[in-house]
């Protein structure tokens, strides 16, 4: 029985030592792999954050350009509306003035006189 225990001790002691050493080595390798992956993730995260900042800046500039474009379009529309209303006002004034002038008997007489003179000139040339 002592022989058996000796044989068992001789077989188990190196296996236990090998197991402990293997565990320690595996733990160190796992820790180093974890730290490497953490560094890679940290760098990837930094790159993504920088890209995100660049994208946000780009979107901000694009938005600013769109706002400026819309402001210019609005300004042009307002100018166009102002010009149209000015033209309409001028036309209304002219129409009103012509209508008022046509109501005056002196103006009617002058127009009739001009028509007669032009017909006499045309009639005389024939």
User: Is 89 within the bounds of a domain?
Assistant: yes
Asked whether residue 120 is assigned to any structural domain, the reply reads: no
Stated as kind and residue range, the H or E segment containing 1 is: none
Give the pLDDT confidence of 4-54 residue by residue, as tens digits: 888 888 889 999 999 999 999 999 999 999 999 999 999 999 999 999 999
Classify 126 as helix, strand or coil: coil
pLDDT of 64-107, one tens digit each?
999 999 999 999 999 999 999 888 887 877 777 677 777 777 77
CB 51 within 8 A of CB 44: no
Please give the residue range of the domain that contains residue 96: 2-115
pTM over 0.85: no
Q: Is 91 part of any domain?
A: yes
Q: How many domains does the chain have?
A: 1
């Amino acid at each position: 029985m002592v022989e058996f225990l000796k044989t068992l001790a001789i077989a188990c002691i190196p296996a236990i030592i090998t197991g402990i050493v293997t565990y320690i080595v595996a733990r160190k390798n796992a820790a180093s792999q974890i730290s490497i992956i953490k560094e890679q993730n940290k760098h990837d995260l930094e790159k993504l954050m920088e890209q995100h900042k660049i994208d946000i800046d780009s979107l901000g500039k694009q938005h600013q350009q769109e706002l400026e474009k819309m402001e210019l379009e609005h300004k042009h529309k307002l100018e166009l509306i102002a010009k149209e209303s000015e033209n309409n006002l001028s036309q209304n004034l002219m129409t009103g003035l012509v209508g008022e002038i046509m109501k005056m008997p002196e103006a009617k007489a002058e127009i009739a006189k001009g028509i007669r003179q032009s017909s006499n000139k045309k009639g005389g040339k024939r």
